[in-house]
Structure 1
Amino acid sequence: MRLSRVSRRRGARGPWVLREVDLEVTAGSLVRVTGANGAGKTTLLRLLAGVDAPDAGRIVDRPRPTGFVPEHFPAELPLTALGYLGHLGRVHGLRGAVARERAERWLERLGAAGYGRTPLAELSKGTARKVAVAQALLADPALLVLDEAWSGLDREARALLDSVAAERVAAGATVVFVDHAPRGLGSAVDRVLRIADTRVAEEEGPAPADGVGQPPVTVIAEGPPGAAPPPLPAGVRWVPAPRGRVRITAPPAVSDAVLRSLLTAGARWHVHAVSPPAGREGPG
């Protein structure tokens, strides 16, 4: 996806929020957007997701389908959680039965299965946020845009969203997110974009994140002779280990996605050891 001299202002005659942004976002990348309050982070994310159009410039080659979790959820809609998700599924081109099955599956994964028939206006902030996350994931998006999507989620749902974001990147999708407390996911980013004074610039090196200093997770695995590991999330490294195995080192936030990728790979992989301390091979 490419942005060429993209500008956006607040209102028809309001001040410019973003000016002449030139940016290329590659497939299979995890991108964090940072900046002060009011700098234009939400504006950039809405442009990337296609929710808003630029006032000047062009955006081309946006991946499809696109999933977007907005900062504020439209809870005033006169729909139940499942009704809303089914409608959004059909907007994404899913058949009714498929949309409902995926909606129910995501609500269950997010710990909100009991709220499918609850009107949106009656949901708590945390449950409404889970519905917002579910709608963005219905169609296996090639572009996933997350605007403070972790806000209001419980610990289990936050961890799941970390893993799902890593899984989408491993599948070749692009994930762009804003989160003031990115925890483990922040250590796996490929790029950090900072917005200041209506401009977007790339930071040198990853932004600091909560959880820095936690040891990486080390996985010792063995696959068919000469086989490389299956697609792994961003931020994961692997090197050959003794006895024909590989040592995979992953940030804690994406370790579940690494294990899932190994265990569900078409070529059979065996996981021999998983340990918090890096650099120590387990038994087996």
Structure 2
Amino acid sequence: MRLEAVGRRYRARGPWVLRGIDLDVPEGALLRVEGGNGSGKSTLLRLLAGIDVPTTGRITGRPRTAYVPERFAATLPFDAAGYLVHMGRVHGLCGRQAAARTEEWLERFGITGFAGTALDRLSKGTAQKVAVAQALLAEPELLVLDEAWAGLDTAARALLDEAVTERVAAGGTAVYVDHDPRRLAEAVPRRHRVAAGRLTDGPGGADEMARVVIEAEGTGEPPAALPPHSWTAGPAAGAPGLLRIRVPADRADAALRALLDADPPWHIRAVRSTGGTSPSGAVR
């Protein structure tokens, strides 16, 4: 997905909220958007999600996308389960899949007891869990999260952290805004800052975003030496016994050694770089 010379203003002669935005959003990337209040972060995320359209410039290559807004509109005429099934169908799932994944995510967030509760009668925290669940249940290629952690309890925030890293490890892309500077910091997100309507790379920019994806085949548990939250296994990665690992480039050699030194060793099927500078050594 690519944004080219994108600008947005809301009146013909009104001020530019964003202007001259050029941004590549590659597959398998984790992007954090930062900036002060009113800087245009939410506008940028709405453009990425397709909720808003540019005034100037163009956006190409948008993948299948799910979006969690800063404020969830809980006035829709659904109960929690009905809304999730409906959104599953909007995201392209068949009725049976949508119902099964609705049940799964209600259970994962611990809100099965609210399945039949009208959205406008849910607490703010429970409504936010429903908003997050609708974005996750269809396993989108692009996940856009605008302060999605706000209003969630500690366990639900940890679950969302895990779900985001799972999506990225599986080859999806996530773009997020969050007030906590430590949010997903272990995953080394690529950072962009919005200021005065312009977009710049922040700490953790393109060079620090170099990633290596390793696909390996084997049996047994993944080696304990692998970085936490860096891998998906089994059916989540596409085949039984298949492990897909996504690590910063400077940790790729250590991940390969851990796989090859395991007992029994894992067979390395593929190694590829996904952005930034190429890693050194044999994993180019």
Contact 2:260 2:267 in 1 (8 A): no
Share of identical aligned residues, percent?
57
SS in 1 for 2:244: coil
Unaligned 5+ runs, structure 1 = 207-217, 222-228, 247-264, 268-284
**1:15 counterpart SS class:** coil
CA distance in 2, matches of 1:82, 1:13: 44
Does residue 1:244 correspond to 2:249, yes or no?
A: no
Match of 1:232 among 219, 241, 245: 245
Verify the 8 A CA contact 2:188 2:204 in the aligned structure 1: no
Counterpart of 1:139 in structure 2 is 138
Distance in 1 separating the partners of 2:133 and 2:259: 42
Give, in whole Å, the separation in 2 of the partners of 1:78 and 1:123. 13
Q: 1:57 matched to which residue of 2?
A: 57
Cα distance in 2 for residues equivalent to 1:125 and 1:155: 14
CA 1:168–1:241: 2 relative to 1, 3 Å: closer
Q: Please say if 1:5 is aligned against 2:5.
A: yes
What are the within-5 Å matches in structure 2 for residues 62-211 of structure 1? 62-64=62-64, 66-205=65-204
Change (3 A) 1:178 1:242: closer
Match of 2:224 among 219, 227, 236: 219
Under a length normalisation based on structure 1, what TM-score does the superposition of the two structures give?
0.75
Offset at residue 11 of structure 1 (A)? 3.9
Q: What residue identity is the alignment partner of 2:105?
A: W
What does residue 36 of structure 2 align with? 36
Deviations 1:53-105 (A, max 9, x none): 111110000112x1111101011112101111111111112112211111111
CA distance in 1, matches of 2:106, 2:167: 18
SS in 2 for 1:177: strand
Q: From the superposition, tell whether residues 179 and 242 of structure 1 become closer, same or farther in structure 2 (CA, over 3 Å).
A: closer
Match of 2:18 in 1: 18
Deviations 1:173-227 (A, max 9, x none): 1100000115351232331000001101111437xxxxxxxxxxx9237xxxxxx
C-alpha contact (below 8 Å) 2:28/2:170 kept by paired residues: yes
**Shift in alpha-carbon separation, 1:77–1:10, aligned structure 2, 3 A:** same
Q: Distance in 2 between matches of 1:242 and 1:132?
A: 38
Q: 1:13 to 1:118 in 2, by over 3 A?
A: farther
The 8 Å contact of residues 142 and 172 in structure 2, kept in 1 or not, is answered as: yes
In structure 2, how many angstroms separate the alpha carbons of the residues matched to 1:243 and 1:190?
27
Give 5+ residue unaligned stretches, structure 2: 206-222, 227-241, 269-284
Number of residues of Structure 1 aligned to a counterpart in Structure 2 = 231
Structure 2 SS opposite 1:232: strand
Shift of 1:113: 1.2
- C-alpha separation between the residues in 2 aligned to 1:60 and 1:27? 14
Structure 1 residues 241 and 55, CA, compared in 2 at 3 Å: closer, same or farther? closer
Partners in 2 of 1:151 and 1:122 — Cα distance?
19
Alignment root-mean-square deviation, CA: 2.6
Secondary structure, aligned partner of 2:186: helix
Shift of 1:234: 4.9
TM-score normalised to structure 2 length: 0.75
Query: CA–CA distance in 1 between the matches of 2:84 and 2:174?
Result: 21
Distance 2:21 2:142 in 1: 19
CA distance in 2, matches of 1:30, 1:241: 24
CA contact (8 A) 1:187 1:235 kept: no
Q: CA deviation at 1:19?
A: 0.3
The 10-residue stretch of structure 1 (81-90 or 30-39) with the greater mean CA deviation from structure 2? 81-90
Worse-matched range after superposition: 41-50 or 89-98: 89-98
Q: CA deviation at 1:10?
A: 2.9
